[in-house]
Structure 1
Amino acid sequence: MDELVSTEWLAQNLEQPDLVIVDCTFHMPADGRDAEAEFREGHILGACFLDIDEVADKSRGVPHMLPSPEAFGAAMEAIGVGRDDRIVVYDNSPYRTAARGWFMLRHFGADRVAILDGGLQKWRREGRPLESGESSPRNARFKAMAASDVVAMADLLKGAELPLVDARGRGRFEGVDPDPRPGVEPGHIPGSRNLPFASLYREDGTLKSEEALAQEFGAAGVDPAQPFIATCGSGVTANSVIFAARRLGGRGHKLYDGSWSEWGADPKTPKAKGPA
């Protein structure tokens, strides 16, 4: 299974017994939308819902940090996702949060995870079937094991040798726009390059062609073939940059999970404003 699947492929494989579909939709509080309520109103047949804001380590005071392996495994078993399943993740979010679900599942040991290209928006536009209500979890086993080499912490970034790539929009990166979270200063980590995650997608929500993705990386001064550390506002949209680089053959990229929510709130960390 490719790591990016089409709505046509999914429609043809919905009945496969080892295929699990996971809705990873997440919205910012200011959006006034309830992702779980929207899931109950209509989702792809057989899908379950992964709340990336709740399945998180809340002890660090930073939004949706990766949970412990034990907590993640228990959460997956509760919604009926097994580590050895073929898993297709999708979203109905302007933040393309399926990429966060893809990263989380892979980080904790699932190695057959794909993103539905275009997400629920494309599925709906094509008139494909939906169902409503709660999901019915199947029996599943997910023995989670966290990868040791894909997550970067704040103390490592200060002397990081890998390039830093910030997926936020230009206004927030340059410090022109205020951060939406209270107590978080504007700007970016010194030395970062800026590659807004939205630039990686077409207007219909599908991922751009590999040629177009390569152009976006080039314009940002980022080599997708070389390892880098991706960051964003809170560790969600940065995963689109990691996924896009992987589509171009890159490997070894890391996620700064705390991202600007952690860095920008710490008065001791250096901060920069202006263009990259």
Structure 2
Amino acid sequence: MRPLITPAALAASPAGERPAVLDVRWRLGGPPGAESYREGHLPGAVFVDLDTALAAPPGEGGRHPLPDPADLQRELRKAGIRSDRPVVVYDDADGSVAARAWWLLRWAGHWDVAVLDGGYAAWLAEGGEVTTETAVPEPGDIEVAPGGMPVLSADEAAVLAREGVLFDARAKARYAGETEPVDPRAGHIPGAVNAPSAEHLGADGRWRTPADLAERFAALGLRDGAPVGAYCGSGVTASSVVLALEVAGRAEPAALYPGSWSHWSRDPERPAATGHEPG
């Protein structure tokens, strides 16, 4: 499956071949995504919570560390995920949380997964059916096998920022160190290039075309053959950089620094650059 699927393509999938659908709506400041799910969701969609299912508890590893494989397997099976059935994930924001679920499933070894282009808003705009009935799927059989997607440690991220291209997916003000509402210190990893996740989308809330995204990353300094990685505040929005690079045509997946700035900034020995340049 390609990394993106349109609402029309999802709606047209035959009944017996329809993908499993995961609703992963989440907002940093609330309200909880589960409330939105109860108010209406795609038929058959199962709500999966970012904080409790798609991440380990916050701590030394950051605000959204990678979940323990056994815990992830249990949650995905509870959501009905099967090894032989494709998966579609959606949110109602800029696609970053859906991208985290997409990335995590691939990291876990399930590659037949796509993000709903435009998310819940696009589904509604195209007249997609909505229900308030809570889905109760048959338990899945997925076997989580970590390692399907490359990851970076803090030290590896620092090296990549010097020797390759490390994209920072946060908003410009947080990258520049002008504000830091969540993590211990402001700034960015020295050498990292700002690539705000919101800019992966067009004015209509859908992902920009492959050509547009390729042009954007080229303008940000990405060159053929250069190793590339991504980070953000807690490893969520950075997943959208990995997805956007794949949409843009990059053959090898970019590496993700799961702990991201929430992990980096906990250690006062790690340097922090400020300003709008890589530093």
Task: Give the TM-score, by structure 1 length.
Answer: 0.92
**Do the aligned residues in 1 keep the contact of 2:66 with 2:258 (CA within 8 Å)?**
yes
Give the match for residue 74 of structure 1.
Answer: 74
Q: Distance in 2 between matches of 1:245 and 1:206?
A: 15
Give the match for residue 180 of structure 2.
Answer: 179
How does 1:7-18 map onto structure 2 within 5 Å?
7-13=7-13, 15-17=15-17
**Do the aligned residues in 1 keep the contact of 2:88 with 2:113 (CA within 8 Å)?**
yes
2:230 is aligned with what amino acid?
Answer: A
1:210 is aligned with what amino acid?
Answer: P
Paired residue secondary structure (1:151):
coil
Give the match for residue 235 of structure 2.
Answer: 235
Paired residue secondary structure (2:15):
coil
Tell me which moved more, 220-229 or 209-218: 220-229
Task: Give the direction of change, closer, same or farther, for the CA distance of 1:123–1:252 in structure 2 (3 Å limit).
Answer: closer
1:35 is aligned with what amino acid?
Answer: G
**Do the aligned residues in 1 keep the contact of 2:97 with 2:237 (CA within 8 Å)?**
yes
2:269 is aligned with what amino acid?
Answer: K
Give the match for residue 57 of structure 2.
Answer: 58
**Do the aligned residues in 2 keep the contact of 1:193 with 1:222 (CA within 8 Å)?**
no
Task: Give the direction of change, closer, same or farther, for the CA distance of 1:246–1:227 in structure 2 (3 Å limit).
Answer: farther
Q: 2:103 matched to 1:103?
A: yes
Q: 2:7 matched to 1:23?
A: no
Give the match for residue 142 of structure 1.
Answer: 142
Q: Distance in 1 between matches of 2:105 and 2:148?
A: 14
Q: Deviations over 1:211-267 (max 9, x none)?
A: 211221122222376431100111111111111111122114110001111112321
**Do the aligned residues in 2 keep the contact of 1:195 with 1:216 (CA within 8 Å)?**
no
How far apart are residue 159 of structure 1 and its match? 3.3
How does 1:241-252 map onto structure 2 within 5 Å?
241-250=241-250, 251-252=252-253
Paired residue secondary structure (2:16):
coil
Task: Give the direction of change, closer, same or farther, for the CA distance of 1:64–1:228 in structure 2 (3 Å limit).
Answer: same
How far apart are residue 209 of structure 1 and its match? 0.9
Tell me which moved more, 187-196 or 58-67: 58-67
How does 1:179-258 map onto structure 2 within 5 Å?
179-181=180-182, 184-223=184-223, 226-250=226-250, 251-258=252-259
1:58 is aligned with what amino acid?
Answer: P
Task: Give the direction of change, closer, same or farther, for the CA distance of 1:14–1:170 in structure 2 (3 Å limit).
Answer: farther
Paired residue secondary structure (1:155):
helix
Give the match for residue 274 of structure 2.
Answer: 273
Task: Give the direction of change, closer, same or farther, for the CA distance of 1:81–1:153 in structure 2 (3 Å limit).
Answer: same
How far apart are residue 152 of structure 1 and its match? 0.9
Q: Distance in 2 between matches of 1:252 and 1:37?
A: 34
Unaligned stretches of 5+ residues in structure 1 = none
Q: Distance in 2 between matches of 1:7 and 1:252?
A: 25
**Do the aligned residues in 1 keep the contact of 2:83 with 2:141 (CA within 8 Å)?**
yes
Q: Distance in 1 between matches of 2:122 and 2:18?
A: 24
Q: Distance in 2 between matches of 1:216 and 1:173?
A: 18
Q: How many residues align?
A: 272
**Do the aligned residues in 1 keep the contact of 2:232 with 2:238 (CA within 8 Å)?**
yes
**Do the aligned residues in 2 keep the contact of 1:154 with 1:263 (CA within 8 Å)?**
yes
Percent of aligned positions that are identical: 35
Give the match for residue 40 of structure 1.
Answer: 38
Paired residue secondary structure (2:12):
helix
**Do the aligned residues in 1 keep the contact of 2:187 with 2:272 (CA within 8 Å)?**
yes
Q: Distance in 1 between matches of 2:109 and 2:36?
A: 28
Q: 2:257 matched to 1:259?
A: no
Unaligned stretches of 5+ residues in structure 2 = none
Q: Distance in 1 between matches of 2:155 and 2:6?
A: 39
Q: Distance in 2 between matches of 1:163 and 1:68?
A: 28
**Do the aligned residues in 2 keep the contact of 1:187 with 1:271 (CA within 8 Å)?**
yes
How far apart are residue 102 of structure 1 and its match? 0.3
